[in-house]
Amino acid sequence: MLLVPVLLGISIVIFALIRVAPGGPARAVFGPTAPPEQIERFNRQYGLDQPVPIQYAIWLRGILSGDLGTSLVNQLPVAALILPKILPTALLTLMAMLVSVPLGVGAGVLAAIRRGRLTDTLSRLGFLFGLSMPSFWLGIILLVVVAVNLRLLPAGGYVPLEKDPIGCLRSMVLPTLTLAVPIAAVLSRVVRTAMLEAIGEEYVRTARSKGLPERIVITRHMLRNVALPTVTTIGLQVGYLLGGAALIETVFTIPGLGRGLVDAVTNRDYAMVQAITLIIAVLTVLTALVVDLLYVYLDPRIRLR
């Protein structure tokens, strides 16, 4: 994937988004019966009366200098509104990653080692359930059972990390679990397949015939083989995490980027929609780039080529 053309393409798509809104953003904000003067003033204020290529150039120049525009709802700079939303979403996605990777890799390795036995079947069932469960539904059920009925954890809401780190972590447990389940499910499948491929390889047979204990064969030889597809999958799931955050943050009322995006769409705050979509898309593309770079580190064969 070529980075620059894709990033440019992303910026054009996001720029085009609000131009295709029926009647333009002004009509969407003020409604179909708004007086023409009000529409005109709005368009002049946001530069919407300029030719489209010039609008794009101005918009892009603004973004590159950190100016994400002005909120159409409360006239505040979008960048300032978005900044506090980044930490909750970053926490949520990172924690979900930290939970799902050991869970998925563990389940996949166990399933491969105990292929065809009960553990394998259970892991397959877990995979299908995790993949088919709507995450927002799982979130609501967890919320009701664990938070409302058992009163073990807070029922949604976000405690700022800088104010109360422990309270913050407690408030993130359920959202993290909810977001981690489908990722762990997908990972377990990928890891299982990669492990089964490794079992058939010559070097594993060699290691075994050298008399190495099975534990060493698995950890030293097979798990290395599993690293590559695992990293690829994790890279692909980052987009899913950021998209899923919109749902999970809504269920657990966390003031993050995802919830911000949904609110912005509901309020027809196009500048916010553009800015948050842009941030998420750029993050996703950059993750793909990091994964490509990790390949070189994980697989010496790529370096040699």
Partner 1 sequence: MTAPASVARGGASRFGAIGRLPLSFILPVAFLAVLVFAAVFAGTIAPYDPLAQNPPIRLQPPSAAHIMGTDEFGRDIYSRVIYGARTSIVVGVAAVFFSSIIGSAIGLLAGYVGGARDETAMRLMDVVIAFPAMVLAIALIAAAGAGLQNVIVVIAIVQLPVFARLARSSVLAEASQDYVTAARVLGVRPVGIVVRHLLPNSIAPSVTMVGLLLADAILIESALSFLGLGVLPPTPTWGNILSSGREYILIGGWWFTVFPGFAIFLTVLSINLLADFSRDRLDPTHRTATQLG
Least Å distance, CB 179 to partner 1, is 12
Residue number with CB closer to partner 1 (104 or 130): 130
Residue number with CB closer to partner 1 (221 or 268): 268
Residue number with CB closer to partner 1 (161 or 263): 263
Least Å distance, CB 61 to partner 1, is 21
Least Å distance, CB 125 to partner 1, is 10
User: Under a CB-based contact definition with an 8 Å cutoff, are residues 54 and 61 in contact?
Assistant: no
User: Under a CB-based contact definition with an 8 Å cutoff, are residues 7 and 24 in contact?
Assistant: no
Determine the 3-state secondary structure of 77 from DSSP: strand
Residue number with CB closer to partner 1 (148 or 296): 148
Residue number with CB closer to partner 1 (13 or 297): 13
Least Å distance, CB 13 to partner 1, is 6
Residue number with CB closer to partner 1 (196 or 227): 196
Residues making contact with partner 1 (CB under 8 A): 1-2, 5-6, 9-10, 12-14, 17-18, 20-22, 112, 115, 128-129, 131-137, 140-141, 143-144, 148, 155, 193, 196-197, 199-200, 239-240, 242-244, 246-247, 250-251, 261-262, 264-266, 268, 270, 273, 277, 280-281, 284-285, 288
What is the secondary structure of 98-118 as a DSSP string? HHHHHHHHHHHHHHHHTTTSH
In this structure, which long-range contacts are made by residues 56-63, counting pairs with CB atoms below 8 Å and at least 24 apart in sequence?
Answer: 56/12, 56/15, 59/15, 60/11, 60/15, 63/11, 63/278
Least Å distance, CB 24 to partner 1, is 11
**Which residue has tokens 């491969």?**
112
Residue number with CB closer to partner 1 (95 or 242): 242
Least Å distance, CB 162 to partner 1, is 27
CA angle 297, 92, 291 (to 5 degrees): 15
Which residues are CB-neighbours of 70 under 8 A, at least 6 positions away?
A: 46, 76, 77, 78, 271
Least Å distance, CB 278 to partner 1, is 10
Instruction: Check residue 50 and report its DSSP letter.
Output: S
- Between CA 121 and CA 103 the distance in angstroms is 16
Least Å distance, CB 233 to partner 1, is 15
Residue number with CB closer to partner 1 (14 or 109): 14
- Between CA 218 and CA 276 the distance in angstroms is 43
Residue from 232, 255, 293 nearest 91 by CA: 255
Buried b (16+ CB within 10 A) or exposed e, 23-44: ebbbeebeeeeeeeeebeebee
- Between CA 213 and CA 220 the distance in angstroms is 11
